[in-house]
Every structure is written in C-alpha cells, then in structure tokens.
Chains A and B, each alone.
Chain A
C-alpha cells in the first residue's frame, strides 16, 4: 500500500552507514511514513504513489550520513578514526595556511617599517608563493589576498575554539575569493600555472570541504598543543625561509609543493616510532591523518611538476621530494591501514566494544619493522643533513625554481627623481619643466623637472612579466609598482585598452639601498622617477611609497615594453 513512498525513502537512507541503518532504519521509516500517511487506505494509496521525501528531508539524511561517516565521539571506531583523521588533516592544512598568513603580515609590517627597524632586508618583501594562490601586484586583488591571509588565521583559531560554523563559512569565502583571483589571473593575464590550480584544489578547496568533519558530535581539538603549533611552525618553517631569502640564498628553497612534501615527510618520520610501537591511544588516527596528507601532498607535487616543462633539473628535484615523501609515508601507512580496517560496528568507547585493546595491536614482526624504520629514518636524516651541508657550501644546483642571477645590462638604467606639474592650458610647460613620454600612465600631460642625484644600475635580471613563479614575483605588499594601472589614455577614447605586458627588473641585492634612496627622495617630494636607458628617457608614475625590495615592474603597452627590453638586454 505504502510501498512506493517507503521504497523511495529507504533508497535515501542507503546513504547512511550500514551499522547506523541496522539500528535506526526501521524507526526512521516508521516516523517518516507517520508524517505522510493518514490511515485512510484510499488517501494513503494516492499519497504513496505521488509523494516522496522532500529535498529538505533528503538534505537532513545527507547531513546525518556525513556526521556518521566523519564520525564523532559516539560513532563506531572505524568511522570515528576516519572523522578524527580528516579533522586532524584539515587542521594541519589550516595551520599551514595560518602560518603563511602570519608570515605575510609580518613581511607587510616589516616592509612598512612598523617594527622600528630600518626596512626589511632586501629580498624579504618577496612573499613565498605559499600563502596566496597567485601573487597579485596591486589593487583590489592584493587587498583580497591580504583578507584571505587574515581569514585563514581566524579560521584556524575558530576551529580550535569550536566555532565550526564560523570557520566553515570563512573558509568557503576564502576559497571563493581565491578562485575569483585565479580566474581573473587566468583570463586577464597569462594562464595560471598548474601549481596555482592544484594549490587551489588541494590546499584550498579540499581542506575546506573536509571541514564538514567538524560537526557538533566532533570532539574538540586539543587546543593548547595546536595553539602552540602556530608560533612553533612559524619559527621553524617561515622564519628559516625568511632567513634564507634574506641571505639571498632563496634559490635553495623548494617551491611550495616541495615544501609540503618535506613537511609531511618530516611529520611521518617523527610519528613513525609511535606508529610502530603503538604507544599512545590515538597513534592510528595520526597515522591515518598523515597518510591522507601525504596523498594530497604527492598529488600536488606531481601536478605542479607540469610547471617545469623545460627544466629537467627541477623535475628531478620534485621527484626526489616525492620519493622522500613516499618512503616516509610508507612508515606510517600500515598503522593507518590497521586503524581503518577496524570493525565498523564497534563503538569507539561504547559498551559493545569488547576488545579493550587499541585497534591494530602490534604483531610479532614489530621489532624488525621498528628497527627497519629507524634505519630508514636515520638514512633519510643523513641524506637531509648532506643536502643542507651542500646547500650552504653551494655545490648543488638549486632546489627551487631557478632565478637567473643578475647580469650586466646592455645599457645601464638611470633613475632620477623628478618633480611633476600639470601642463598649462595651452599645452606648454612652466619654465624649467619638460614633457617626457610616460607610457602606460593614466594621466598624461604632465611636465617634469629633474632634481636629486641620478642613480645608475648596471646589473639586473630583466624578465618579461608578470613573473609569477616563486620568488621573483613582485611581492604582495609592494604598493609602489610603477605603471601598475592599465594604459587607457584620453588620446584613444574609442579604442580598447592596448595590451600591456610587464617587465620585471630585479636588481642585485647590493643595490637595494640605492633604489630605496632614490625612490624615497622622489616619494618625499611627491615626485616621480625619470628612467633613462641608452639615451632615451621616460617618466614613471608617481612614487606612492619607497621601494623596499630591489625589484620593480613596468607595465607598458607591449611594443614599448619590448623596446625597453631590447635596449636593456640586446648584445649589440
């Protein structure tokens, strides 16, 4: 009589794990049918033919199923282990995000001299590619990137304080913002590298989805150790990174996916002895979490290798990172597999949990395994040590994306501060002022007067930009990027804005002071910079802040950029 309606509802209930259905299915079906059926056979016949579970009803079952599979404290052991492992993994990724968020703000503050010390050491302004999925240079996307960096710190803390809903909503916003930035980058600039997309999917989207495991049945995270992990990770990972960059060794830093591989590998090695000895009740859950993280890091590493199609060396480095990760993860995977295989119907702490032993008691083979694992861990640590030693004696090739070292320019770049004034209505300039070509400047028609000491730069890296792989990207936090505006002048009202193309000029580390000085002079007198190369002079837009890193980017219409590039690098 009520066959159809009942069948439809039972089909929805199949989303629930078996153990749960065993206990509750009949009850749920009865309660559901009670809500529909009237007791009048004729009416019930009709209802059962046409009615079905509403979307809200189905959604409530989906939510229930998610809470069971990503089990809370009362769920059976296997589901609890999965839930716990996914929560730990999501928390670990949120920690990494939060650490790089913190790093971004420290660099920003330092770049703006908020610490009372002169300026951040040279290259430091260069944010690691980690914290943001793309490196915007200015404008609303830069603001959005800072908002996302800050949001992740809040998300991490919200998870620790049990504000799961707030964390989930913020994470969703952060993920959408990153996607928008990435799409904007994809469609307006060059295509985003594989690394950015895989970053977005694996490090943004997947962890945000995994936050579904933080539901009201989830036991709260151990707040104090996780809270301590934030400064600890910052000082152990972000600060050394900054130090390496500050000493201009930053070519030795692995790219972000490589860093992820190494961090997960280190965590696996650190956990391996516990995984084998089975001390500590939640060892299996940690093994499972690390295995999940290792899988994500491995996929991320593999996909982002596609960014180095012409660089076999970096592909080799990437594969080596992958190998280290796989070996380290192999140490904890057996423990994870045992945990995962626990009988699904046994409640984690319930009465029907007859076996009081922890899941996956160590077998007889453990001593041999733990000896093996310690030998392997020792070997890997030795490899790491050798690597570090060779890095600092500079006898191995770079571990990260290579940046060409500054070469001698075909013609030096001379920068000189200039004062600006508007042209007279007749189009002439006041006495002592001249007009200068200012490609890409949104407000042409200015007159310039040179003042201050010109500074010449003879060595630089000139890269067609925007260069967005790793360290050479014009860093977030540098507001003073000349020509950051699109070149739309009143002279060409109907034509579409000409395509601009960037040129990144990275000066040697030692030229930092000179560049800061000349830009500070220009900034202090609310002036601009005149750039002279091989006898040609251009005006760059007004300096909105002194440059605190030895790089700047020029965004001009393409032919002018090419002309400048030709002047700077041509051998003739």
Chain B
C-alpha cells in the first residue's frame, strides 16, 4: 500500500469525507508532510474504489456544487487495520535496532 493510499484510508477512518476534506485531513494527519494534489487524490480514490476499500457515501450540495462523500468499506477498515499493525511492527523493529526506547502506546 502506498503512503498516499494509507493516509487517504486513515482520513476516512472516523467518518465519510468529500474530496477536498480528504486533502485537508491528510495534510493534518501527516503534519504537513503529505499535501495531495487533486490529480493524485483521484488517482488514489479511483484505485481504492476499484479495490473496494472505499465506496461513495452520499452527495451534498454546497455553494452550487455537489460534494460526493466517501466512506471506508468493511474490507477497507480491515485492510487499514492490518496495514497499521504492519507499520507499527516495522517501526518497533527499527526502534529496537537503533537502541531507542519503545514508543509509548498512543492514546
């Protein structure tokens, strides 16, 4: 899974979002490191939709434009959890190799 896809799925973890909402959330989640361009975002959304990890949720009118919201599918939620676990495990191994103290559990 690419970093972009990982962040997009994470941005949808706590509820449906529309296109630009995802861009903002990803920027925030990555602390400004990942700034998705619209072209990249829809590349990712197209792929995630095709892989049935996300699906359209609803459409809302806003300033005369239609905003389409997306949500995680069940499969997407599981896949994201697996990926997060994998990344955390990798990070633990790296920290151990570097002789760093174990990261404090989040939350």
- A34 close to B67 (CB less than 8 A): yes
Rounded to whole Å, the gap between the CB of B42 and the closest CB of chain A is: 5
Residues of A near B39 (CB, < 8 A) are: 28, 57, 59-64
Within 8 Å by CB of B23, from A24, A26, A35, A56, lies A35
A62–B38 Cα distance when bound, in Å, is 11
Query: Is B77 located at the chain interface by the 8 A CB criterion?
Result: no
Query: Is A118 located at the chain interface by the 8 A CB criterion?
Result: no
Rounded to whole Å, the gap between the CB of A11 and the closest CB of chain B is: 14
Query: Is A432 located at the chain interface by the 8 A CB criterion?
Result: no
Within 8 Å by CB of B47, from A20, A217, A347, lies A217
Residues of A near B18 (CB, < 8 A) are: 30-31, 34
Residues of B near A28 (CB, < 8 A) are: 19, 38-39, 42
Residues of A near B23 (CB, < 8 A) are: 31, 35
Query: Is A67 located at the chain interface by the 8 A CB criterion?
Result: yes
Query: Is A74 located at the chain interface by the 8 A CB criterion?
Result: yes
- A24 close to B66 (CB less than 8 A): no
Rounded to whole Å, the gap between the CB of A353 and the closest CB of chain B is: 12
Q: Which positions 32-77 of chain B face chain A at CB distance < 8 Å?
A: 37-43, 45-47, 50-51, 62-63, 65-68
Residues of A near B63 (CB, < 8 A) are: 37, 39
A63–B37 Cα distance when bound, in Å, is 11
Within 8 Å by CB of A64, from B42, B51, B62, lies B42
Residue of B nearest to A349 (CB): B50
Q: Given A37-B63, A39-B63, does the pair A31, B19 have CB atoms closer than 8 Å?
A: yes
Query: Is B2 located at the chain interface by the 8 A CB criterion?
Result: yes
A217–B1 Cα distance when bound, in Å, is 11
Query: Is A295 located at the chain interface by the 8 A CB criterion?
Result: no
Query: Is A430 located at the chain interface by the 8 A CB criterion?
Result: no
A32–B40 Cα distance when bound, in Å, is 12
Residues of B near A34 (CB, < 8 A) are: 18-21, 62, 65, 67
Residue of B nearest to A34 (CB): B20
Within 8 Å by CB of A35, from B20, B46, B47, B51, lies B20
- B50 close to A30 (CB less than 8 A): no
Rounded to whole Å, the gap between the CB of B98 and the closest CB of chain A is: 25
A20–B19 Cα distance when bound, in Å, is 16
Rounded to whole Å, the gap between the CB of B35 and the closest CB of chain A is: 9
A29–B63 Cα distance when bound, in Å, is 13
- A30 close to B47 (CB less than 8 A): no
Residues of B near A37 (CB, < 8 A) are: 63
- B50 close to A350 (CB less than 8 A): yes
Give the bracket for the number of chain B residues in contact with chain A: 20 to 34
Rounded to whole Å, the gap between the CB of A135 and the closest CB of chain B is: 43
Rounded to whole Å, the gap between the CB of A146 and the closest CB of chain B is: 35
Q: Given A26-B66, A37-B63, does the pair A67, B43 have CB atoms closer than 8 Å?
A: yes
Q: Given A39-B63, A56-B37, does the pair A74, B42 have CB atoms closer than 8 Å?
A: no
Rounded to whole Å, the gap between the CB of A408 and the closest CB of chain B is: 70
Q: Which positions 462-484 of chain A face chain B at CB distance < 8 Å?
A: none
- B41 close to A31 (CB less than 8 A): yes
Residues of B near A394 (CB, < 8 A) are: none
Residues of B near A35 (CB, < 8 A) are: 20, 23, 38
Most chain A CB within 10 A, of B2, B18, B19, is at B19
Residues of B near A63 (CB, < 8 A) are: 39-40, 43
Residue of B nearest to A36 (CB): B20
- B40 close to A64 (CB less than 8 A): yes
Rounded to whole Å, the gap between the CB of B58 and the closest CB of chain A is: 13
Residues of A near B40 (CB, < 8 A) are: 60, 63-64
A29-47: CB near B (< 8 Å → 1, else 0) gives 1111111010100000000
A86-109: CB near B (< 8 Å → 1, else 0) gives 000000000000000000000000
Residues of A near B45 (CB, < 8 A) are: 24
A56–B36 Cα distance when bound, in Å, is 10
Q: Which positions 6-42 of chain B face chain A at CB distance < 8 Å?
A: 18-21, 23, 37-42
A62–B21 Cα distance when bound, in Å, is 23
A318-336: CB near B (< 8 Å → 1, else 0) gives 0000000000000000000
A1-41: CB near B (< 8 Å → 1, else 0) gives 00000000000000000001001101111111111010100
Most chain B CB within 10 A, of A20, A24, A56, is at A24
Rounded to whole Å, the gap between the CB of A20 and the closest CB of chain B is: 8
Rounded to whole Å, the gap between the CB of A347 and the closest CB of chain B is: 8
Residue of A nearest to B39 (CB): A60
Q: Given A30-B67, A34-B19, A216-B2, does the pair A24, B42 have CB atoms closer than 8 Å?
A: yes
Residues of A near B37 (CB, < 8 A) are: 56-57, 59-60
- B68 close to A27 (CB less than 8 A): yes
Rounded to whole Å, the gap between the CB of A122 and the closest CB of chain B is: 54
Residues of A near B46 (CB, < 8 A) are: 20, 23-24, 74
Most chain A CB within 10 A, of B2, B37, B47, B62, is at B37
Residue of B nearest to A53 (CB): B38
A27–B23 Cα distance when bound, in Å, is 13
A28–B39 Cα distance when bound, in Å, is 8
A217–B20 Cα distance when bound, in Å, is 23
A74–B45 Cα distance when bound, in Å, is 12
A28–B19 Cα distance when bound, in Å, is 7
A34–B21 Cα distance when bound, in Å, is 9
A39–B62 Cα distance when bound, in Å, is 10
A39–B67 Cα distance when bound, in Å, is 15
Rounded to whole Å, the gap between the CB of B41 and the closest CB of chain A is: 7
A24–B43 Cα distance when bound, in Å, is 10
Residues of B near A64 (CB, < 8 A) are: 39-40, 42-43
**Top 4 A-B pairs, shortest CB-CB distance:** A60-B39, A31-B19, A34-B20, A60-B37
A-B contact pairs, 13 of them (CB 8 A): A20-B46, A24-B45, A26-B66, A29-B65, A30-B67, A31-B38, A34-B62, A34-B65, A57-B38, A60-B38, A63-B43, A64-B40, A347-B50
Q: Besides A24-B42, A30-B67, A35-B38, 8 other CB < 8 A contacts? A: A28-B42, A30-B18, A32-B20, A32-B38, A34-B67, A60-B43, A74-B50, A216-B2
Chain A residues within CB distance 8 Å of chain B: 20, 23-24, 26-35, 37, 39, 56-57, 59-64, 67, 74, 216-217, 347, 350
